[in-house]
Chain A
């Protein structure tokens, strides 16, 4: 029992130290960013970095919150909670308007300014009373990618969807199919989040459908295992491969010619700009007159240097 008490005391001290460290920087405005990403989604690291840098440069307190499993109902609770803690502004995504518009609207009505980033559409952002929308319209980005692929002679594809429960992921695949001018049908697979599962499902699909022209992945979570799958099947560099979003492996694969292009929605800007915009709005009352499109930008083998240097960190 003695040892037990000692351990407890040590933990309490450690916990206190942690708390002291994080709440010491409370001066100036406070902004909370609530994302819909599960802990396992590495792509959001760029968002975290953008948020931290903006907070540092503007001299404001910033916090990042997400539902650990990606459960959107949990995310709604987090938004309610963020509102209860009385920040100056909330930056959040609109992954499912049905679930999230209630809590977001309540936050707006209780006097907290909200900027919608990443998921959702400019129209939905206006409906919930947000100041603006910063992001990349998903369907349009998928459509633009589809047109580009169609120009390169693609007529069938596999969409590796690692986040099938988010409507915006499906919109990317749908937009790509429409851009190609083909029916989405069964060309989209639910790959799950686990790397080896994704790899095996991609291999299974391509074995079953050997005449597939192209592969489309929706981010590093699905792209990295897909690169491995293609290498293992000897299709790397042979099959047409496009992806949404960037990461270390994706950039390397673009350099190696395995991936033709990556669509960069520049997530860094989605976290960085809202903090800058809101801080200026709260300090001086100035606000840009329109939504900000952070993407899409196509990243190809040309001009990769800066992208490569900052991939996974700021790109």
Chain B
């Protein structure tokens, strides 16, 4: 079970006990197959129905890739944790909490923004560790423990700004972040010159009026997207190419068996809770730096969106099986469908219907694929 996530695994040459599997089948049958098929289907669908609606111009592409990247950041954390056999329902509240923490430290206390960011990361990772510690120590389901933190963190996120600033949205972070060295790492944009050039040759639209007239409408790739891709790459390598990755699969597959063979299951689980908190904090910091304000309602229901992306991506809710690439594709599907339905002119209240249908199909398809891989009946 523990190495199921790495495809069919290494097959020793010429062993009559091992069944021959054709190369094509081996390449196809992998945990993220469902997500790959889904991604292709979703893009074909929107090319057919929304190709001329602006969905595939520079602005439209940036829009759905930003939304997908947001999902991706939290999905990576949720995926690793789910493979390790646990849930974190406090992700959404953690996003609101982290954003508010940055706002309170940088705007209310007037401390430099980089200190606010580092302090918030330390705080969030510590809360993640606490989550993990309670789960491991008490043996309670992580569902319940993190549900408690969902309420605790959201409560504080509303209480503190109300108490200190008498409001639930704190702005002015963009002024505070002016000239800060760490803020652009989360809120900045890269590759502006490419877009300047694309704008000048007319490949993408430019502003027609106002103070930015003549500048390209898309002026760079947000750091949010860079963070998402980097997190996916790092998590994928750790999960599939390192000993620690095997430990994660083992901890989620059968914790007791893993303990018998010397895997430090508790440490692995706590580390994964900390990683999930880290991802939520990256999400929050990018959002706060982009919009310049933190609100008490930020991140509402994001924990479920993360879990949905992970499940579409082929991970097993009970742990021990899954793929980061799959989760990233799940996030892409989620983001493209959410934004794309609007481009296609579908009534917005039907979005949830589509989401439910996709989720159901993904789970059915993934179950089928998993049975082929693991041979379970």
Question: A71 CA to B344 CA in the complex, in Å?
Answer: 23
Is residue B21 within 8 Å, beta carbon to beta carbon, of the partner chain? no
**Pick from A1, A15, A68: contact of B368, CB under 8 Å:** A1
CB distance from A48 to the nearest CB of B (A): 10
Question: A83 CA to B62 CA in the complex, in Å?
Answer: 12
In the complex, the 6 A-B pairs of residues with the closest C-beta atoms, listed nearest first:
A98-B293, A109-B210, A98-B171, A165-B297, A84-B59, A111-B208
Q: Do A81 and B346 form a contact, CB below 8 Å, given A164-B296, A190-B158?
A: no
Find the B residue at minimum CB distance from A82. B342
Does the CB pair A77–B292 fall under 8 Å?
A: no
Find the A residue at minimum CB distance from B211. A109
Is residue A195 within 8 Å, beta carbon to beta carbon, of the partner chain? no
Question: A83 CA to B207 CA in the complex, in Å?
Answer: 12
Find the A residue at minimum CB distance from B205. A110
CB distance from B349 to the nearest CB of A (A): 7
Which residues of chain B are within 8 angstroms of A105 by Cβ–Cβ distance?
Answer: 210
B150-194 CB contacts (< 8 Å) to partner A: 158, 162, 166-169, 171-172, 174
Which of these binds chain B: A17-25, A255-263, A270-278, A282-290? A17-25
Q: Do A110 and B297 form a contact, CB below 8 Å, given A65-B342, A81-B342, A85-B55?
A: no
Does the CB pair B57–A84 fall under 8 Å?
A: yes
10 intermolecular pairs with C-beta atoms under 8 Å apart: A15-B45, A18-B346, A18-B350, A71-B297, A81-B60, A81-B63, A85-B55, A85-B60, A96-B295, A102-B291
Is residue A196 within 8 Å, beta carbon to beta carbon, of the partner chain? no
Question: A1 CA to B342 CA in the complex, in Å?
Answer: 31
Which of these binds chain A: B122-130, B266-274, B298-306? B298-306
Does the CB pair B66–A111 fall under 8 Å?
A: no
Spell out A's residues near B (CB within 8 Å): 1, 4, 8, 11, 15, 18-19, 22-23, 26, 39, 63-66, 68-73, 76-78, 80-86, 96-99, 102, 105-106, 108-111, 129, 164-165, 167, 170, 190
Which residues of chain A are within 8 angstroms of B368 by Cβ–Cβ distance?
Answer: 1, 4
Which residues of chain A are within 8 angstroms of B166 by Cβ–Cβ distance?
Answer: 170
Question: A185 CA to B368 CA in the complex, in Å?
Answer: 59
Does the CB pair B291–A73 fall under 8 Å?
A: yes
Does the CB pair A84–B348 fall under 8 Å?
A: no
B14-57 CB contacts (< 8 Å) to partner A: 45, 49, 53-55, 57
Is residue B136 within 8 Å, beta carbon to beta carbon, of the partner chain? no
Does the CB pair A19–B168 fall under 8 Å?
A: no
- List 15 additional contacts besides A11-B361, A63-B345, A111-B209; criterion CB under 8 Å: A15-B45, A66-B348, A72-B298, A73-B287, A83-B59, A84-B55, A85-B342, A98-B174, A99-B292, A99-B293, A109-B210, A164-B158, A164-B162, A165-B295, A165-B297
Q: Do A8 and B54 form a contact, CB below 8 Å, given A19-B49, A72-B295, A165-B295?
A: no
Question: A105 CA to B368 CA in the complex, in Å?
Answer: 48
Question: A105 CA to B64 CA in the complex, in Å?
Answer: 20
Does the CB pair A164–B348 fall under 8 Å?
A: no
Question: A194 CA to B162 CA in the complex, in Å?
Answer: 21
CB distance from A300 to the nearest CB of B (A): 32
Does the CB pair A170–B343 fall under 8 Å?
A: no
Does the CB pair B296–A78 fall under 8 Å?
A: no
Is residue B213 within 8 Å, beta carbon to beta carbon, of the partner chain? yes
CB distance from A83 to the nearest CB of B (A): 7
Question: A71 CA to B167 CA in the complex, in Å?
Answer: 16
Q: Do A81 and B217 form a contact, CB below 8 Å, given A69-B300, A109-B208, A190-B158?
A: no
Which residues of chain A are within 8 angstroms of B361 by Cβ–Cβ distance?
Answer: 8, 11
Question: A98 CA to B287 CA in the complex, in Å?
Answer: 12
CB distance from B179 to the nearest CB of A (A): 19
Is residue B351 within 8 Å, beta carbon to beta carbon, of the partner chain? yes
Which residues of chain A are within 8 angstroms of B208 by Cβ–Cβ distance?
Answer: 109-111
CB distance from B348 to the nearest CB of A (A): 5
Does the CB pair B347–A84 fall under 8 Å?
A: no
Does the CB pair A106–B217 fall under 8 Å?
A: yes
Find the A residue at minimum CB distance from B349. A39
Question: A72 CA to B49 CA in the complex, in Å?
Answer: 28
Q: Do A99 and B63 form a contact, CB below 8 Å, given A66-B348, A85-B55?
A: no
Does the CB pair B66–A77 fall under 8 Å?
A: yes
**Pick from B49, B211, B343: contact of A81, CB under 8 Å:** B343
Does the CB pair A65–B167 fall under 8 Å?
A: no
Does the CB pair A85–B357 fall under 8 Å?
A: no
Q: Do A110 and B343 form a contact, CB below 8 Å, given A84-B60, A99-B295?
A: no
Question: A213 CA to B158 CA in the complex, in Å?
Answer: 27
Find the B residue at minimum CB distance from A87. B54
Question: A276 CA to B132 CA in the complex, in Å?
Answer: 56
Find the B residue at minimum CB distance from A69. B300
Find the B residue at minimum CB distance from A7. B361
CB distance from A197 to the nearest CB of B (A): 13
Does the CB pair B168–A164 fall under 8 Å?
A: yes
Question: A133 CA to B287 CA in the complex, in Å?
Answer: 28
Which residues of chain A are within 8 angstroms of B348 by Cβ–Cβ distance?
Answer: 63-66
Find the B residue at minimum CB distance from A4. B364
CB distance from A141 to the nearest CB of B (A): 19
Find the A residue at minimum CB distance from B293. A98
Q: Do A98 and B292 form a contact, CB below 8 Å, given A23-B345, A73-B287, A109-B210?
A: yes
Find the A residue at minimum CB distance from B343. A85
Is residue B352 within 8 Å, beta carbon to beta carbon, of the partner chain? yes
Does the CB pair A85–B171 fall under 8 Å?
A: no
Question: A297 CA to B293 CA in the complex, in Å?
Answer: 33
Q: Do A69 and B346 form a contact, CB below 8 Å, given A84-B57, A85-B60?
A: no
Which residues of chain B are within 8 angstroms of A98 by Cβ–Cβ distance?
Answer: 169, 171-172, 174, 291-293
Find the A residue at minimum CB distance from B365. A4
Which residues of chain B are within 8 angstroms of A109 by Cβ–Cβ distance?
Answer: 207-213
Q: Do A165 and B296 form a contact, CB below 8 Å, given A77-B63, A85-B54?
A: yes
Does the CB pair A73–B207 fall under 8 Å?
A: no
Does the CB pair B342–A78 fall under 8 Å?
A: yes
Is residue B131 within 8 Å, beta carbon to beta carbon, of the partner chain? no
Question: A159 CA to B155 CA in the complex, in Å?
Answer: 19
Which residues of chain B are within 8 angstroms of A15 by Cβ–Cβ distance?
Answer: 45, 354
Is residue B339 within 8 Å, beta carbon to beta carbon, of the partner chain? yes
Does the CB pair B63–A110 fall under 8 Å?
A: no
Does the CB pair A73–B342 fall under 8 Å?
A: no
Which residues of chain A are within 8 angstroms of B59 by Cβ–Cβ distance?
Answer: 80, 83-84, 110
Question: A66 CA to B207 CA in the complex, in Å?
Answer: 25
